[in-house]
């Protein structure tokens, strides 16, 4: 266990002006607070916070962060209180310890909803002071190093949590060393056989390739020195988990990987980075598509480096990372490398980190909390962004937009602004019109084509990969559906007031909201449209003294005249005269692409020319049935769900409506083609066909067709009946 003077010395190595008294007091306080507590390994519990502090001294963090690490378990596991820590060590350290205590209570691998809500709390705690995350990552790293002492079930749970949440977070914060070790420890626990296999093969490969690696290092260093470039060249090896993930992603064997070994070139300044590229590309052939410049366009976690691959000595592919020493510190330690020194003192990394791209990403992620409609969505979106690499694209004006790999122009549009995404109707990529679902690549210039009044279709959710875009599409879809229900509800309520001899007043309705248990007029109208609230209840809320008469039970049999009797019974909730068949107050139906949530009867549909009735289904909108549909008997005892509807078709717009026909035809070659030809030649569209074998000589076909109206449908049926291969044709009436 690290001793008191050793902790002080570790901090003084990089910060000669460290507050020794503060460090000593924290050491003594935590040691006394934890007392005789033991870890699962049998070691004194106090050894754990000391090891966490030691990890953070390797990251060269400020005194407050080191002290918070020493104290981070005291509030949770001892009699210590936040008030006492604030009194003894100040408000800054107390806030850090309190944030860590809250995080410790979270269970990130639990039921999806609980995990999502806890992850929100985790990031909210972090964003107040990013040093909380640094201590938490060090805490998790030490726990993973000692994971073998935990019960098997807990080992698996903690390892999965590490792989899902903490390792990607470390990567997003640019802390590559921490990420690599967390991934390796978790991989070893979750896939022990795969881990052992890769480690063994790496050892064999090193033994076989050692001489070649040394030769490449030597030759590269000599060429750079000959060009007057001061550089350090080091061979490096991919991590086992990174190798495993690539094998899984590309479905390749270990032997097929050509980039297991690479080389890192460290130089003095950015200009030397590009000089190294010139030397390397002049000496050896480059591998096309393998050059990436993260110096001029850093990653969101502040990573800066030039990547290139060449065919080096012995025709060996050589991967190179070229960076300055300062870039290397950021690449290894990420946001922790932003602790700067002025006049020999370490400034708090919490303040300095706010200028980093990693911290800005964290802020943007937190902003999604306000936009997300559920914790599960937030967790899903954040995980998507944690695990994606990046591509860099440009607006026509040259603005750089960083996106996850695999992003589409829709993602690009939402990255610019939510309004740009919501109104996007097309895109130009590098000057050419491209599908909105096409994948973007590094360096693409993207222009978004917009149109006012556009609403993003729900299918966009399957095309986007960024959390922001997916959340915005879902939100816009929900708002569009809600607007549809509110529009339907408004028509229903207006007609209910008209039947009652009243006029809908939104001001009066707003005053009646408490009686309807809704917070806005829009909520009331949407509830009526969804079938969650009866329109008569809205009238009653405004006019409580109005005499109400509920409809009697409907007749058992329905004819067209019977339907009008039903309509009259369902409409006359309040005693207002209405002539049967009067459609002035009916709701117009324009089809599937109208502004109402409308669908047609699942078996048989309905087409203009049919007498129709609407059935209101809670949460689904209106289902349109032909008046002769036998399915309507199921709603005989629910008259409040019946709506008087009528067709309102614009002849200038060629709309199609669903219908179903049953065709009994002779079983011989060419029959189906002839039937399809009749439908197609008459301007109909086949949506689906189901064939049933009735006998060896005949087949029965249930054909879903789309037609413009009843006359169109009857013309198709009539011509089918004239064909010799057709025995019988009937329309299905729902």
User: Does residue 239 carry a pLDDT above 80?
Assistant: yes
Residue 366 pLDDT: 54
In this structure, are 42 and 137 located in the same domain?
yes
Select which of 77, 259, 640, 719 is catalytic.
77
In a domain, 396, yes or no: no
Average pLDDT, the chain: 79
Task: Identify whether 389 is a catalytic site residue.
Answer: no
pLDDT category, 165, cuts 50, 70, 90? confident
CB hemisphere CA count around 397 (13 angstroms): 3
Domain with residue 700: its CATH number is 3.30.70.260
Selection from 113-117, 384-388, 452-456, 676-680 with the highest mean pLDDT: 676-680
User: Does residue 462 carry a pLDDT above 80?
Assistant: yes
Residue 487 pLDDT: 80
In a domain, 264, yes or no: yes
User: Does residue 568 carry a pLDDT above 50?
Assistant: no
Q: Which tops the pLDDT comparison, 442 or 33?
A: 33
pLDDT category, 394, cuts 50, 70, 90? confident
The CA-CA-CA angle for residues 186, 188, 189, to 5°, reads 65
In a domain, 464, yes or no: no
Residue 121 pLDDT: 60
Q: Which tops the pLDDT comparison, 370 or 545?
A: 545
User: Does residue 356 carry a pLDDT above 70?
Assistant: no
In this structure, are 558 and 586 located in the same domain?
yes
Question: pLDDT of 56-66, one tens digit each?
Answer: 998 888 899 99
User: Does residue 553 carry a pLDDT above 70?
Assistant: no
Select which of 20, 43, 76, 548 is catalytic.
76
Q: Which tops the pLDDT comparison, 469 or 164?
A: 469
pLDDT category, 506, cuts 50, 70, 90? confident
Residue 28 pLDDT: 93
Rounded CA-CA distance 73/434 in Å is 55
In a domain, 295, yes or no: yes
pLDDT category, 277, cuts 50, 70, 90? very high
Phi, psi at 6, each rounded to 5°: -65, -40
Angle between the 82-89 and 91-104 helix axes, to the nearest 10 degrees?
Answer: 150
pLDDT category, 656, cuts 50, 70, 90? confident
In this structure, are 172 and 227 located in the same domain?
no
Residue 276 pLDDT: 93
Q: Which tops the pLDDT comparison, 4 or 374?
A: 4
In a domain, 435, yes or no: no
pLDDT category, 88, cuts 50, 70, 90? very high
Residues 5-24 have a mean pLDDT of 90
Rounded CA-CA distance 710/733 in Å is 12
Q: Which residue has the tokens 């008294």?
A: 21
Range of the domain at 92: 4-192
Rounded CA-CA distance 637/255 in Å is 71
Which residues are registered as beta bridge partners of 390? 404
In this structure, are 244 and 329 located in the same domain?
yes
In this structure, are 214 and 149 located in the same domain?
no
Question: 178: closest CA among 27, 24, 358, 14?
Answer: 358
Residues 672-690 have a mean pLDDT of 90
In this structure, are 118 and 199 located in the same domain?
no
Residue 447 pLDDT: 93
Structure token digits, residue 438: 């096409």
In this structure, are 608 and 667 located in the same domain?
no
Q: Which tops the pLDDT comparison, 633 or 224?
A: 224
In this structure, are 558 and 608 located in the same domain?
yes
In this structure, are 199 and 77 located in the same domain?
no
Q: Helix, strand or coil for residue 734? A: coil
In a domain, 410, yes or no: no
Domain with residue 144: its CATH number is 1.10.3210.10
Q: Are 332 and 315 in contact (CB under 8 A)?
A: no
In a domain, 553, yes or no: yes
In this structure, are 184 and 213 located in the same domain?
no
Rounded CA-CA distance 437/582 in Å is 48
Domain with residue 243: its CATH number is 3.30.460.10
Neighbours of 396 (CB within 10 A): 11
Task: Identify whether 640 is a catalytic site residue.
Answer: no
In a domain, 447, yes or no: no
**With pLDDT > 70 as the criterion, what percentage of the chain qualifies?**
80
Domain boundary among 338, 358, 377: 338
In this structure, are 163 and 139 located in the same domain?
yes
User: Does residue 211 carry a pLDDT above 90?
Assistant: no
Rounded CA-CA distance 158/109 in Å is 8
DSSP string spanning 296-335? TS--TT----EEEEEE-GGG-EEEEEEEEHHHHHHHHHGG
Domain boundary among 306, 338, 370: 338
pLDDT category, 357, cuts 50, 70, 90? low
User: Does residue 123 carry a pLDDT above 50?
Assistant: yes
Burial of 307 (0-12, 13-18, 19+ CB in 10 A): middle
Compute the residue count for the chain.
734
Residue 446 pLDDT: 92
User: Does residue 255 carry a pLDDT above 80?
Assistant: no
Q: Are 260 and 243 in contact (CB under 8 A)?
A: yes
User: Does residue 488 carry a pLDDT above 60?
Assistant: yes
The model scores a pTM over 0.85: no
Residues 497-526 have a mean pLDDT of 84
Structurally, the chain folds into a number of domains equal to 4
In this structure, are 187 and 200 located in the same domain?
no
Q: Helix, strand or coil for residue 237? A: strand
Domain boundary among 338, 356, 381: 338
Question: pLDDT of 399-446, one tens digit each?
Answer: 778 787 788 999 999 989 889 999 999 999 988 999 998 999 877 889
Residue 103 pLDDT: 65
pLDDT category, 376, cuts 50, 70, 90? low
Q: Are 338 and 349 in contact (CB under 8 A)?
A: yes
Rounded CA-CA distance 722/655 in Å is 27
**Helix, strand, coil percentages, rounded to 5, for the chain:** 50, 15, 30
């Amino acid at each position: 266990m690290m001793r008191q003077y050793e902790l002080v010395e570790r901090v003084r190595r990089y910060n000669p002006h460290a507050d020794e008294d503060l460090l000593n007091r924290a050491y003594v306080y935590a040691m006394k607070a934890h007392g005789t507590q033991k870890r699962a390994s049998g070691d004194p519990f106090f050894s754990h916070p000391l090891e966490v502090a030691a990890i953070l001294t390797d990251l060269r963090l400020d005194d407050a962060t080191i002290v918070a690490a020493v104290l981070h378990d005291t509030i949770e596991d001892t009699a210590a209180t936040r008030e006492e820590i604030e009194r003894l060590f100040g408000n800054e350290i107390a806030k850090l310890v309190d944030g860590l205590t809250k995080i410790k209570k979270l269970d990130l691998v639990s039921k999806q909803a609980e995990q999502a809500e806890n992850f929100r709390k985790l990031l909210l705690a972090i964003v107040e002071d990013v040093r909380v995350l640094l201590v938490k990552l060090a805490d998790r790293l030490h726990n993973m190093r000692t994971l073998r002492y935990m019960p098997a079930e807990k080992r698996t749970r903690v390892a999965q949590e590490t792989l899902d949440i903490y390792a990607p977070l470390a990567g997003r914060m640019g802390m590559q060393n921490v990420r690599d070790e967390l991934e390796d420890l978790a991989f070893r626990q979750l896939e022990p056989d795969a881990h052992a296999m890769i480690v063994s093969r790496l050892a064999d490969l090193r033994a076989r390739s050692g001489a070649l690696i040394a030769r490449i290092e030597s030759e590269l260093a000599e060429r750079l020195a000959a060009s007057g470039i001061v550089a350090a060249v080091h061979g490096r090896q991919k991590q086992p988990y990174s190798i495993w993930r690539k094998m899984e992603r590309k479905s390749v064997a270990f032997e097929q990987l050509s980039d297991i070994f690479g080389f890192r070139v460290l130089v003095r300044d950015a200009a030397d980075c590009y000089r190294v590229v010139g030397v390397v590309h002049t000496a050896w052939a480059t591998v096309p598509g393998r050059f990436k410049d993260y110096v001029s366009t850093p990653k969101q976690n502040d990573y800066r480096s030039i990547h290139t691959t060449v065919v080096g000595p012995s025709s060996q592919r050589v991967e190179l990372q070229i960076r300055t020493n300062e870039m290397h510190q950021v690449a290894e330690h990420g946001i922790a490398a932003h602790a700067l020194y002025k006049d020999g003192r370490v400034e708090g990394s919490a303040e300095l980190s706010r200028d980093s791209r990693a911290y800005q990403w964290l802020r943007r992620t937190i902003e999604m909390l306000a936009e997300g409609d559920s914790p599960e969505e937030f967790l899903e979106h954040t995980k998507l962004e944690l695990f994606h690499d990046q591509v860099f694209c440009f607006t026509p004006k040259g603005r750089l937009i960083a996106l996850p790999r695999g992003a589409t122009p829709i993602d690009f549009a939402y990255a610019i602004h939510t309004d740009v995404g919501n109104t996007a109707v097309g895109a130009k990529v590098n000057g050419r019109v491209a599908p909105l679902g096409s994948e973007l690549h590094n360096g693409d210039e993207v222009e978004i084509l917009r149109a006012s009044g556009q609403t993003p279709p729900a299918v966009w959710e399957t095309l986007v990969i960024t959390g922001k875009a997916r959340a915005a599409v879902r939100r816009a879809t929900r708002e569009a559906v809600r607007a549809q229900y509110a529009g339907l509800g408004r028509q229903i309520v207006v007609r209910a007031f008209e039947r009652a001899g009243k006029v809908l007043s939104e001001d009066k309705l707003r005053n009646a909201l408490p009686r309807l248990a809704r917070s806005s007029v829009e909520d009331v109208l949407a509830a009526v449209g969804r079938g969650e609230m009866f329109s008569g209840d809205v009238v009653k809320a405004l006019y409580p003294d109005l005499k109400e008469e509920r409809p009697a039970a409907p007749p058992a049999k329905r004819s067209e005249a019977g339907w009008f009797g039903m309509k009259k019974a369902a409409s006359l909730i309040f005693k207002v005269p209405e002539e049967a068949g009067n459609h002035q107050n009916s709701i117009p139906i324009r089809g599937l692409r109208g502004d109402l949530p409308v669908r047609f009867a699942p078996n048989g549909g309905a087409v203009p020319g049919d007498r129709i009735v609407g059935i209101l289904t809670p949460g689904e909108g209106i289902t349109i049935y032909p008046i002769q549909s036998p399915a309507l008997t199921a709603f005989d005892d629910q008259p409040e769900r019946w709506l008087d509807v009528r067709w309102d078709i614009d002849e200038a717009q060629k709309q199609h409506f669903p219908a179903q026909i049953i065709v009994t035809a002779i079983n011989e070659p060419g029959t189906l083609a002839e039937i399809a030809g009749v439908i197609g030649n008459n301007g109909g569209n086949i949506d689906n066909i189901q064939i049933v074998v009735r006998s060896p000589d005949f087949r029965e076909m249930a054909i879903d067709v789309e037609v413009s109206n009843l006359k169109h449908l009857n013309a198709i049926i009539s011509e089918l009946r004239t064909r010799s291969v057709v025995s019988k044709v009937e329309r299905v009436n729902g």
